[in-house]
C-alpha cells in the first residue's frame, strides 16, 4: 500500500501538534504504523492522499451513521449556511432537534445541547451533584465517559474503592470524589452503597459499555443499578454518547427497560458535527442555569450548523427509511461474520449489538468486565488492522474500540468485507 503522502503529512502534523493529532487514539500507537491522512469520504468509503480507498468501519468514531457526506445532510447544512452560522441567540433548529431527540428519549422533558460528549457528561455530573447536594460519583472500571477530570479515574488497588487519577494533571482530591467498581458485580456496588450511600450523587454507566471492547451487561445488573440508586436517593446517569441510536431506533436503556434519571447523548445526534446533549425530567433539568443554581454555558452550544446536521440525520434515519437500511446492513454483517467464524475453529469471540460490533481475541467467553481484555488479544488486533488496511478496510486503530456500520454500505460492500475480514482473521492465526 502506498503511504508516502500520509507519512509526509503526518510528519508535518508532528511539528505543530503533540503526537501529530488532536485526539490520542488517532496516532495509531495501539496498532503501529503511520496514521492514514484522509482526503475525502463519500458514502461508505474513505480515500487518502495516496489515492487508497477504504470501506469505513470507524465512521468518525460513531457519528456518521449515514456514511460520509450524505446528500440530504449536506444540502440541509448548505441551506442554513446561506443565512449565517452562529448567532449566540436561540435558533429554531435547536428547538426542532430537541423535540426530535426527546421524542426518541421518551422519559425526559427537556434537554440541553453542548459541543461534545465530554461536556455533556461534565454537565450531567455537576447537575447530579447540584440536585442531590452530594459529592461522590460512582463509575465502573472500563467505562469511558469523556476526559473530564472526575471521570479520568481508575479503580484503586484492593479494597479501596476511591479512584486513582488515570491522567497526570488530575488532583488526587478530585479523583477521590469518584468511586470505581468493577462492572457486572452487584456485591461490589452494594458494598460501596453500604459505606457511602448517602454521599453518592450519581451512578454513571455506559448503558452498553463500548469503549473497552463491547462489554455487554446482564439486564439484571442494569435493573439492579436502577433499584439501588432509587433506594438511596442517588441519580442514575446512563451515558449513551456512543451507543445511543446505534443499537435500536432509540436508546439502549429502552433495550434494557430501565429508565435513567439523566441520559447523555452525542455522536449520532450531531450528524458528524460537534453536538451532544443531556436530557432529564424538567424537575432535574430546571436546576440548570438560568432556571436553577447549577451553572453551564457555551459560546457555540446549539449552533445552527450542528443542530441542522443532527436534525437532517434523524430525519433520514426515522422518516426516510434510514433505520430500516441500518438494520438490514447490521443483520447481513452479523450473519456473515457469525457464519464465517463458525466455519473456523479459531478462538475468536464476536459480539454485535445493532450497528456496533467487536471481536475479542482473548477469552473463551465474551468478557463483561474490563479484566477480560488482555494484551495478546490487542496485539492480535494490531496485526489484523494492518492487513485489513492493505485490503481496503478501515477499522478503528485500536483493539479496544468497537466497529461501526453505516446505512451507506451496500449489500456488496457488506458481503465483500465479511469475506475479507474472515480470510484475514484466518491469516492472523496461520
Based on the shown chain and the rule CB under 6 A, indicate whether residue 146 belongs to the binding site for ligand PLP: yes
393 binds ligand PLP (CB under 6 A): no
Closer residue to ligand PLP, CB minimum distance, 116 or 177? 116
The whole-angstrom separation of Cα 35 and Cα 302 is 32
Question: Per rule CB under 6 A, is residue 141 in the interface with ligand PLP?
Answer: no
Stretch that binds ligand PLP, among 152-160, 236-244, 289-297, 417-425 (CB under 6 A): 236-244
d(C-alpha 60, C-alpha 270), whole Å: 12
Please report which helix (H) or strand (E) contains residue 425, including its range.
helix 411-429
Dihedral sign of CA atoms 367, 250, 408, 63 in order = negative
Nearest 5°: phi and psi at 41? -130, 135
Cell numbers 496485539 correspond to: 379
- How far apart CA 58 and CA 62 sit, in angstroms, is 7
Report how far residue 245's alpha carbon sits from residue 317's, in angstroms, rounded to the nearest whole number. 9
Window of 78-86, 103-111, 138-146, 197-205 that interacts with ligand PLP by CB under 6 A:
138-146
**HSE of 148, CA atoms in CB hemisphere, 13 A:** 17
Q: Which of 100, 267, 334, 381 is catalytic?
A: 267
Identity of the residue, 49 or 144, whose beta carbon is nearer to ligand PLP in the bound complex: 144
Span from 110-118, 219-227, 281-289, 295-303 in contact with ligand PLP (CB under 6 A): 110-118
Helix, coil or strand: residue 55: strand
Q: Which one of the listed residues 48, 100, 144, 381 is annotated catalytic?
A: 144
Number of residues in contact with ligand PLP, rule: CB under 6 A? 14
| Using rule CB under 6 A, residue 244 touches ligand PLP | no
Q: Indicate whether 118 belongs to the interface with ligand PLP (CB under 6 A).
A: yes
**Which residues, 6 or more positions from 103, have their beta carbon under 8 angstroms from its beta carbon?**
none
What beta strand segments (E) does 328-392 contain?
Answer: 349-353, 356-360
Residue nearest to ligand PLP (CB): 117
Q: Any catalytic annotation for residue 239?
A: yes
State which of positions 184-223 bind ligand PLP (CB under 6 A).
Answer: 206, 211
* 3-class secondary structure, 292: coil
Per DSSP (E only), the strands in 182-223 are: 200-206
Q: Choose between 121 and 222: whose C-beta lies nearer to ligand PLP.
A: 121
- Asked if residue 144 binds ligand PLP (CB under 6 A), the reply is yes
Residue with grid cell 445488573, as numbered in its chain: 221
Is 354 an interacting residue with respect to ligand PLP (CB under 6 A)?
no
Q: Is 266 in the site for ligand PLP (CB under 6 A)?
A: yes
Task: Report, in Å, the least distance between residue 428 CB and ligand PLP.
Answer: 26
Does the protein bind ligand PLP through residue 236 (CB under 6 A)?
no
**By CB under 6 A, residue 306 contacts ligand PLP:** no
Query: Between the CA atoms of 78, 305, 264 and 199, what dihedral angle is there, to the nearest 10 degrees?
Result: 170
Q: Is 271 in the site for ligand PLP (CB under 6 A)?
A: no
Residues linked to residue 53 through DSSP beta bridges, in sequence order: 47
The reply to whether 116 sits near ligand PLP by the rule CB under 6 A is: yes
Matching residue, cell 459541543 = 115
Active-site option among 56, 141, 239, 413 = 239
Q: Considering beta carbons, is residue 43 or 63 the nearer one to ligand PLP?
A: 63
Question: Active site includes 267?
Answer: yes
Q: Is residue 117 near ligand PLP by the rule CB under 6 A?
A: yes
Edge to edge, the sheet with strand 393-394 lists 38-42, 45-48, 53-56, 393-394
Q: DSSP label at 45?
A: E
- Site for ligand PLP contains 121 (CB under 6 A): yes
Residues 272-301 that bind ligand PLP (CB under 6 A): 276
Please give the radius of gyration of the chain, using alpha carbons only, rounded to the nearest integer: 21
Nearer to ligand PLP, 24 or 71 (CB): 24
- Select the residue interacting with ligand PLP from 45, 139, 145, 246 (CB under 6 A): 145
Catalytic residues: 144, 239, 267
Per CB under 6 A, residues contacting ligand PLP are 116-118, 121, 144-146, 206, 211, 239, 241-242, 266, 276
Amino acid at each position: 500500500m502506498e503511504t508516502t503522502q500520509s507519512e509526509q503529512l503526518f510528519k508535518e502534523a508532528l511539528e505543530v501538534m503533540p503526537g501529530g493529532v488532536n485526539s490520542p487514539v488517532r496516532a495509531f500507537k495501539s496498532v503501529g504504523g503511520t496514521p492514514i491522512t484522509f482526503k475525502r469520504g463519500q458514502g461508505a468509503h474513505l480515500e487518502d492522499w495516496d489515492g487508497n480507498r477504504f470501506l469505513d468501519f470507524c465512521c468518525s468514531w460513531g457519528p456518521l451513521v449515514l456514511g460520509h457526506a450524505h446528500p440530504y445532510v449536506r444540502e440541509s447544512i448548505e441551506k442554513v449556511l446561506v443565512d449565517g452560522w452562529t448567532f449566540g441567540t436561540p435558533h429554531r433548529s435547536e428547538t426542532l432537534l430537541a423535540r426530535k431527540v426527546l421524542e426518541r428519549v421518551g422519559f425526559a422533558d427537556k434537554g440541553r445541547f453542548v459541543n461534545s460528549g465530554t461536556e455533556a457528561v461534565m454537565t450531567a455530573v455537576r447537575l447530579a451533584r447540584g440536585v442531590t447536594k452530594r459529592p461522590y460519583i460512582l463509575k465502573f472500571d472500563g467505562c469511558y465517559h469523556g476526559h473530564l477530570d472526575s471521570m479520568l479515574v481508575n479503580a484503586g488497588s484492593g479494597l479501596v474503592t476511591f479512584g486513582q487519577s488515570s491522567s497526570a494533571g488530575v488532583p488526587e482530591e478530585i479523583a477521590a470524589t469518584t468511586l470505581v467498581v468493577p462492572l457486572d458485580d452487584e456485591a461490589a456496588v452494594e458494598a460501596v452503597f453500604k459505606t457511602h450511600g448517602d454521599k453518592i450523587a450519581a451512578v454513571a454507566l455506559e448503558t452498553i459499555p463500548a469503549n473497552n471492547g463491547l462489554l455487554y451487561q446482564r439486564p439484571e445488573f442494569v435493573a439492579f443499578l436502577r433499584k439501588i440508586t432509587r433506594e438511596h436517593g442517588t441519580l442514575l446517569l446512563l451515558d449513551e454518547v456512543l451507543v445511543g441510536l446505534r443499537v435500536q431506533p432509540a436508546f439502549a436503556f429502552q433495550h434494557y427497560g430501565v429508565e435513567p434519571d439523566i441520559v447523555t447523548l452525542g455522536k449520532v445526534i450531531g450528524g458528524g458535527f460537534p453536538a451532544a446533549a443531556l436530557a432529564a425530567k424538567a424537575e432535574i433539568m430546571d436546576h440548570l442555569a438560568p432556571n436553577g443554581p447549577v451553572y453551564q454555558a457555551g459560546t457555540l452550544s446549539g449552533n445552527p450548523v450542528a443542530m441542522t446536521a443532527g436534525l437532517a440525520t434523524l430525519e433520514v434515519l426515522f422518516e426516510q427509511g434510514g433505520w430500516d437500511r441500518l438494520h438490514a446492513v447490521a443483520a447481513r454483517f452479523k450473519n456473515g461474520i457469525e457464519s464465517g467464524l463458525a466455519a473456523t475453529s479459531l478462538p475468536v469471540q464476536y459480539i454485535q449489538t445493532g450497528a456496533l460490533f467487536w471481536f475479542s481475541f482473548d477469552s473463551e467467553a465474551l468478557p463483561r468486565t474490563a479484566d477480560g481484555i488482555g494484551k495478546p488479544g490487542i496485539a492480535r488486533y494490531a496485526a489484523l488492522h494492518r492487513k485489513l488496511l492493505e485490503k481496503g478496510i478501515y477499522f478503528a486503530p485500536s483493539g479496544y474500540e468497537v466497529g461501526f456500520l453505516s446505512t451507506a454500505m451496500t449489500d456488496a460492500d457488506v458481503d465483500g468485507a465479511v469475506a475479507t475480514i474472515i480470510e484475514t482473521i484466518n491469516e492472523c492465526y496461520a
